[in-house]
Structure 1
């Protein structure tokens, strides 16, 4: 560290002296020397800038080293005897956006402690934990320095989007081709309805056909006034009808695509738009199966949903399932794991998170912002669900129904 200071001070003095000399004696310098003089000045400025940056990085690393050293002592992550001294070993990697703390396991009594330092390390750096990865020999803690921006919904003129990718805000982009189907869990007041409403608009902008099943006949059910009863269903028999429509369209697409078969293509290559089945409050629908006839309807619907989840991707037929509380009775784990994007909004229990995320269950943390929770996207390179904030709707700036009317064809 002292060497950096000395080098930086020397170069800074040379730079200042050269500026003064160049200013006062420029009239006496031959024209042929003026350009080399300025070039040397630019070179010297760049050198000083690089040294300053390297000095700053070294100061940061030194401060982090002292923080970790004190952290080890304060948290008792060492053991000293007359024969041996054992201490936890950490490495720190820092970039513009995150800090990664790696705790090295040594096969001793400290290993179990190293796997449960979430709150302590978050407090040490005053940063939210983004992800924790436990390996046989290391534990990685990743902290966000600059959190992503939350998407704020604002009214706009009608727009048509060809790109299937949807910006969900907070650094997340979603494409059903690479990550088919969506699961959204969240209780009353969690922001689930706002998020689904946002998705409906984004899908309509892309020319998608939307079917809505709302067995509780709540907000989404009322959209039948705008989308029509043929697209929105609230009673079991009508829900079964729209499921049959979606499944039939899926198989018709497969039949037409086989006639124009080309290896490695999907619905998009054949000019089809996506079809989305949005099934709100699936738990309420399952509870409607109370007798032989109603149970037969429930079984038919669930069989159709299973077909869409397992076969719909290539044909461009997708499903979004929402529920206040997920359980094995709502959706079995095999089908759940085929839902590429899984979201749990609001505060939830450990068991609740496990039912949504399975092996990708995150370490629980307080959820204080409405519309926030955890999100897991298959193929994103994350091993566990990450903290996420859904798009924010300000009712003074955004009217969902007015926006919806822009994308409804009136014949």
Structure 2
């Protein structure tokens, strides 16, 4: 079984989701490499056997990956409309709480244990274009925000990680709570000061010099003692040569057998 504790980003950086970085936010204007980076992260998570959930507010690139899932999983793991998104997030929260009930709230539970202790399958939620989804229905958008916050705050021990991405975040859809609990923050391409502030918070005023362009920009990784974001270039995934849909299907159904299914406990 592959090492499930991190996803390599470059020769010096890893997304250490198990121990240091709880979830992520990724922002990049159109054409600056967001989709290719998301595709890399999705394939990397699926390769280690993770269960993958996809929400795509614009019914675009991530939504097209629904055909990599079998029909049953397609109905439960993919969302695009606000109502579908709420349903998916409610069920994911129920799954998270079930894990806590079965493994972390019993007399035999071990202090300091997490999902790896019990060989639980890691779960990754990829939510692209929050503004499109939450802005479509403001009332439902508030519920979506509340459900996301629960995952960001409680997900790590249970093995549930949210990767939130957008062309441009706003304070209406990216609360301070969500941002500050995102252990990996990435900004690609050229952006305004307000956009950098939305991703990095107060760190935006201390950005180092960095090349900006397709797949290039800044990254902040929590838990490593960094005082500022650092220059970053995403892994290069040529989606013209790599069949993301075919590989995702293979990884989803070839590598999941290494883990327990909490619903069978």
Question: Does the pair score TM above 0.5?
Answer: yes
Partner of 1:252 in structure 2?
98
From the superposition, tell whether residues 388 and 170 of structure 1 become closer, same or farther in structure 2 (CA, over 3 Å). farther
Q: CA RMSD in A?
A: 1.8
Partner of 1:378 in structure 2?
222
Distance 1:398 1:208 in 2: 20
Partner of 1:404 in structure 2?
248
Partner of 2:130 in structure 1?
282
Post-superposition Cα deviations, 1:268-310, rounded to whole Å, max 9, x if no partner, equal 10111211111110011121115xxxx1x22222111111111
SS of residue matched to 1:270:
coil
Mapping 1:117-266, distance limit 5 Å: 160-177=1-18, 178-227=20-69, 228-257=74-103, 258-259=105-106, 260-266=108-114
Displacement of 1:406: 1.8
SS of residue matched to 2:109:
coil
SS of residue matched to 1:265:
coil
Q: Which runs of 5+ in 1 are unaligned?
A: 1-159
Distance 1:349 1:367 in 2: 15
Q: Which runs of 5+ in 2 are unaligned?
A: 255-265
From the superposition, tell whether residues 368 and 182 of structure 1 become closer, same or farther in structure 2 (CA, over 3 Å). closer
TM-score by length of 2: 0.87
SS of residue matched to 1:387:
strand
Partner of 2:156 in structure 1?
313
From the superposition, tell whether residues 336 and 397 of structure 1 become closer, same or farther in structure 2 (CA, over 3 Å). same
From the superposition, tell whether residues 231 and 395 of structure 1 become closer, same or farther in structure 2 (CA, over 3 Å). closer
Query: Contact (CA 8 Å) 2:36, 2:239: kept in 1 or not?
Result: no
Displacement of 1:369: 3.7
Distance 2:30 2:213 in 1: 14
SS of residue matched to 1:343:
strand
Mapping 1:63-102, distance limit 5 Å: none
Partner of 2:233 in structure 1?
389
Query: Contact (CA 8 Å) 1:180, 1:318: kept in 2 or not?
Result: yes
Distance 1:278 1:238 in 2: 14
Q: 2:179 aligns with which of 331, 336, 340?
A: 336
Report the number of matched residues: 246
Partner of 1:363 in structure 2?
207
SS of residue matched to 1:225:
helix
Could you say which structure has the larger radius of gyration? 1
TM-score by length of 1: 0.57
Distance 2:238 2:83 in 1: 36
